[in-house]
Structure 1
Amino acid sequence: MKILLVSMNSIHFVRWAHQLENSGHEVYWFDVLDGGKAENLPWVYQITGWKQKYPNLKGRHFIKKRLPFFYKRISFLIENDVVKTFKKTIENIKPDIVHSFVLYISCAPILEVMKTYNKIPWIYSSWGSDLFYFRNLPKYKEDILKVLPRIDYLITDCMRDINIANELGFKGNVLGTFPGGGGFNYDETNRYIKPVEERKTILIKGYQGRSGRSIQVLKAIQSLTEELKEFTVVVFGADIEVANYVIKKKLSNKLSIKVLYRKDFLPHHEILELMGEALIYIGNSNSDGMPNTLLEAIAQGAFPIQSNPGGASAEVITHNKNGLLIENCEDINEINRHIVSALSRMDLIKNAFKLNQISVKPIFERQLIKEQVLDAYNKVSKS
C-alpha cells in the first residue's frame, strides 16, 4: 500500500513516521512547508525542495525577513504553488492513502486537490491545540468547517477532540487516539528513573507565548520559600519572557532555581533525565491536547500537576489519585494550593508513582502503540 504523509518537518512527525518503517508499505512524505529533508527518515520517499523556483536567488531571505508583506505580494513569481505541486505529487505517486498532520498546516492548503481526488481515503491527525484553540479564531474556523466534511478518517491525541471534530462537521470514522509522535520506548529511559525518596527537583515546563502559562506557576511558587527550601526548581524550555521574569523578580534570591532556555535546545534524553529525578512536574497552559511532556513525566515517575484544557489531561490524570489537575491555568492561588498539597502528602506522591508506573505508563509503550497504528492503516486499506 502506498501511504502519502503530508506534514511539516517536526520531531513528532518523524517519530510517528518511524512506526511505518519495515511495515511493508511504501511511505512517501510531502513536506508541505518545504523545510528540508528529514535525515532520520532515509527509507521514506521525500518530496522536498519543491517550493523555490529559483533556489539560488540572491536577496530572497533578506526580503522575506525585512519586507514580509512585499514578499507575500511577489511570492507567486518566485515560489511554486502548493496546490499545483501537490496535485502533481498525487498524479505521480497514485497513493492509496493520504495522511495529513495538523489541519491548518497540512489539510487546508491541499483541500481543493483532495476534493478532486475524493476517492482517495484522507486521514487527518489532530494534535495539541489544532481544534480546541483554533476553532475560536474565525479565519481558522472557516478552514476547519471546510476541511472536516472531506476527511474520511480521524486520529486524535485525546478523546476530547473527537467530540469537537464531530461538532464541527466531521462525518467519517475515528481510527484511534494515540500520542502525537507515537508511543514511548521505555527501554531507553527507565535507567533515568530515581526512587521517590531521592528526588529533590521541582520541574516546570517553561512555555509562555500564545498558550503557555509558566509565569503563573512562577508567581505561585514565590511565596513557597520555606516549602521548597530542600528542592531545586528547574524551568526547562523557558521562553525569553519567562527567563526575564525570573531575573526581574529576583527569584534566585528566594529559591534555588535554574532556568534552561528554550532557544538553547536541551537534548531530549536530558529532559527525560530531569523528569526521572523530579519529585513534581508542573505543566500549565490555556490550550493543548494530550501533552507529550506530561506523558513522559508520568513515565519517568514525576508527580504531575497539569492544566486541564477542555478535560484532555483528565483522560490520564485522576485528580488526587495519580496527579493533580489545574482547572484554571490563570489562577495563581489554585496552582499554589496544588503544590503545597503535593509537598505535604508524600503518601499521595508515592501511591501516584506506583499507579502511574503500573497502570498508566504501559498504555503508551511504543511497540503497543505501533501495533495499534499499523492496524488502523490496515483498516483503511480494507475499507
Structure 2
Amino acid sequence: MRILMVSMLNYHFVRWTEQLKESGHEIFWFDINDNGNKVEKLSWLHQKVGWKLRYDFPFRVFVKSEFPALYKWIQKYNERKVQDEFEKYLLEVKPDVVHSFAIYISCFPIVTIMNKYPDVKWVYSSWGSDLFDFQNYPDELKAIKEVLPRVNYLFTDCFRDYEIAKKHGFVNTFLGVFPGGGGYFLDKMEDITMATERKNSILIKGFQGRWGRAINILKAIIDIKEELKSFPIVIFGADDEIISFVKNSKLSNWKNITVLGKIQHDEVLYVMGESFLYIGNSISDGMPNTMLEAICMNVFPIQSNPGGVTQELIEDGFNGLLIEDSENIENLRNLILRALNNEEMIKNGIAYNSLHIAKRFDYDFVRNKVLQSYMNLAQDN
C-alpha cells in the first residue's frame, strides 16, 4: 500500500511513522509546514520538503527577524500555496491512503483537495487538544465540521476524542486508541530505572502557555516548603514564563529545586528514572504522553483530567491522582500532600501500573496493533 503522510515535523510524527519502517508499505511524507530540509531519521521514506519558497533570497532570515512587516509582504508573492503543492504531490504519488496528523494543521489546509478526489482514502490522527479545545472556537469548529465527514478512518489517543469526533460529523471507521507517537521501549526504560541509585525526586512538567498550568503547581508548593525539603524537585521543559516565575518567587531560594529548559527525550527518561512522583497540569490535552512515559518509568502520576481523558487510565487514589480543577491552587497543594503522606498508595499504584498499564504501551505490542489497523484499512473496499 502507498501511504502519503501529511504532517508537520515533530517528535510524535517521527515516532509514529517509524512504526511503518520495513512494514511492506511504501511511505511518502508531505511536510505541511515545510521545514525545508530532509529528515535523516526518516531517510528510508520519500520526503516532500523545500516546496514552499519560490526563491530563498539572500538575508531572508535577517529580513524575517528585523523587518517582519516587509517579510510578510514579500512572502505573499514568494510562497507557493499549500493546496496547489499538495495536489501536485498527490497526483504524482497516487497513494492508496492519505494520513493526516492534527486536524487544524494537516487536515483543514488540504480538505478542498481531498474533496476533489473522494476515492482517495483519508486517515486522520487526532493529537492533544485537536478536538477537545478547538471545538470551543467558531473558526476551528467550522474546520472540524468540514473535515470530519470527509475522513474515512480515525485514530485517536483517547476514547474521549472518538466521542467528540462522532458529535461533529465523523461517521466512518474508527481504527482505535493509540499513543500519538506509538509505543515505548519498556526494556530500555527498565534499564534506566534499574541503574538509578535512588528514586526520590518529584518531577514537574514545566509547560505554561495556552494550555499548560505549571505555574499553578509551583504556587501550590510554595507554602509546603517544609514538607518538600527532603525531596529533590525537578521542573523540566520549563519555558521562559516558568523560569521567570521561579526566579521572582520564594522558590528562588529553595536549594532542592532544579529548573531544566527543553531537554532531549533521553534526558527526560533519565530524570524520570530518579523520580517517584510526576505532576502534570493543563486545562486541555489528549492522553498525556509524558504521563504515559512516567507510568512506564515506575513514577506515580498526579495528572490533570480535562474532559475525563486521564480517568480512562487512572483511578483516582488508586494508581494515580486526578486534578479536576487545574486552576485551584489549594486543591493542587492537597493532592501533593496526599501523595507525600501515603507511601502505601504510591507503592501499590506504581506496582499496578507496571503490571497492568505499562504493558499496554510496549512498542512491539502497539506497533503490531497499528500495522494490523493499516492492514484492515488496505483490505477495506
Common topology (TM > 0.5):
yes
Tell me, what secondary structure is at the counterpart of 2:40?
coil
**Which residue is equivalent to 2:301?**
304
**Which residue is equivalent to 1:42?**
43
**Which residue is equivalent to 2:146?**
146
User: For the Cα contact (< 8 Å) 2:222–2:250, is it kept in 1?
Assistant: no
Residue 69 of structure 1 and its aligned partner are, at CA, apart by 4.9
**Which residue is equivalent to 2:331?**
334
Give identity over the alignment, percent: 48
Please give the per-residue CA displacement for 1:170-215, whole angstroms capped at 9, x wherever unaligned: 1111101100000001122211225999422110000001111011
**Which residue is equivalent to 1:113?**
113
**Which residue is equivalent to 1:86?**
86
AA aligned to 1:155 is F
Residue 62 of structure 1 and its aligned partner are, at CA, apart by 3.6
AA aligned to 2:49 is T
**Which residue is equivalent to 2:358?**
361
Tell me, what secondary structure is at the counterpart of 1:119?
coil
**Which residue is equivalent to 1:156?**
156
**Which residue is equivalent to 2:284?**
287
**Which residue is equivalent to 2:25?**
25
State the TM-score, normalized to the length of structure 1.
Answer: 0.96
Distance (whole Å) between structure 1 residues aligned to residue 196 and residue 284 of structure 2: 30
Distance (whole Å) between structure 1 residues aligned to residue 301 and residue 168 of structure 2: 32
State the TM-score, normalized to the length of structure 2.
Answer: 0.96
1:314 paired with 2:311, answer yes
Distance (whole Å) between structure 2 residues aligned to residue 363 and residue 150 of structure 1: 31
AA aligned to 1:38 is V
User: For the Cα contact (< 8 Å) 1:289–1:312, is it kept in 2?
Assistant: yes
User: For the Cα contact (< 8 Å) 1:225–1:255, is it kept in 2?
Assistant: no
1:382 paired with 2:349, answer no
Distance (whole Å) between structure 1 residues aligned to residue 197 and residue 261 of structure 2: 28
Please give the per-residue CA displacement for 1:106-138, whole angstroms capped at 9, x wherever unaligned: 101111110011101100000001111111122
Please give the per-residue CA displacement for 1:43-66, whole angstroms capped at 9, x wherever unaligned: 1000111111112x1243344344
Residues 85/354 of structure 1: CA separation in 2 closer, same or farther (3 Å cut) = same
**For structure 1, which segment, 219-228 or 206-215, has the greater mean C-alpha deviation from structure 2 after superposition?**
219-228
1:213-228 matches, within 5 Å, as 213-228=213-228
1:184 paired with 2:184, answer yes
Residue 286 of structure 1 and its aligned partner are, at CA, apart by 0.6
Residue 268 of structure 1 and its aligned partner are, at CA, apart by 1.3
Distance (whole Å) between structure 2 residues aligned to residue 102 and residue 69 of structure 1: 29
AA aligned to 1:15 is R
1:203-218 matches, within 5 Å, as 203-218=203-218
Residues 211/225 of structure 1: CA separation in 2 closer, same or farther (3 Å cut) = same
Q: 1:276 aligns with which of 273, 276, 295?
A: 273
Residue 256 of structure 1 and its aligned partner are, at CA, apart by 1.3
Residue 337 of structure 1 and its aligned partner are, at CA, apart by 0.7
**Which residue is equivalent to 1:257?**
257
Distance (whole Å) between structure 1 residues aligned to residue 144 and residue 344 of structure 2: 45
Residues 179/84 of structure 1: CA separation in 2 closer, same or farther (3 Å cut) = same
AA aligned to 1:127 is W
Distance (whole Å) between structure 1 residues aligned to residue 64 and residue 143 of structure 2: 25
**Which residue is equivalent to 1:102?**
102
Tell me, what secondary structure is at the counterpart of 2:30?
strand
Distance (whole Å) between structure 2 residues aligned to residue 298 and residue 364 of structure 1: 10
**For structure 1, which segment, 180-189 or 246-255, has the greater mean C-alpha deviation from structure 2 after superposition?**
246-255
**Runs of at least 5 residues in structure 1 that lack an aligned partner in the other structure:** none
**Which residue is equivalent to 2:11?**
11
**For structure 1, which segment, 76-85 or 19-28, has the greater mean C-alpha deviation from structure 2 after superposition?**
76-85
AA aligned to 1:259 is V
Distance (whole Å) between structure 2 residues aligned to residue 255 and residue 145 of structure 1: 51
AA aligned to 1:300 is M
Residue 71 of structure 1 and its aligned partner are, at CA, apart by 3.9
Residue 103 of structure 1 and its aligned partner are, at CA, apart by 0.7
Residue 241 of structure 1 and its aligned partner are, at CA, apart by 1.0
Residue 340 of structure 1 and its aligned partner are, at CA, apart by 0.5
Distance (whole Å) between structure 2 residues aligned to residue 69 and residue 272 of structure 1: 42
**Which residue is equivalent to 2:342?**
345
Residue 226 of structure 1 and its aligned partner are, at CA, apart by 1.7
**For structure 1, which segment, 72-81 or 165-174, has the greater mean C-alpha deviation from structure 2 after superposition?**
72-81
AA aligned to 2:189 is T
Tell me, what secondary structure is at the counterpart of 1:112?
helix
Residue 326 of structure 1 and its aligned partner are, at CA, apart by 0.2
AA aligned to 2:139 is K
Residue 304 of structure 1 and its aligned partner are, at CA, apart by 0.2
Residues 197/38 of structure 1: CA separation in 2 closer, same or farther (3 Å cut) = closer
User: For the Cα contact (< 8 Å) 1:52–1:79, is it kept in 2?
Assistant: yes
Please give the per-residue CA displacement for 1:228-258, whole angstroms capped at 9, x wherever unaligned: 1210111000011111111111314245111
Measured on the aligned residues, the alpha-carbon RMSD in Å equals: 1.6
Residues 136/176 of structure 1: CA separation in 2 closer, same or farther (3 Å cut) = same
Distance (whole Å) between structure 2 residues aligned to residue 37 and residue 226 of structure 1: 51
Distance (whole Å) between structure 2 residues aligned to residue 114 and residue 197 of structure 1: 54
Please give the per-residue CA displacement for 1:87-107, whole angstroms capped at 9, x wherever unaligned: 111111100000000011110
Residue 72 of structure 1 and its aligned partner are, at CA, apart by 4.0
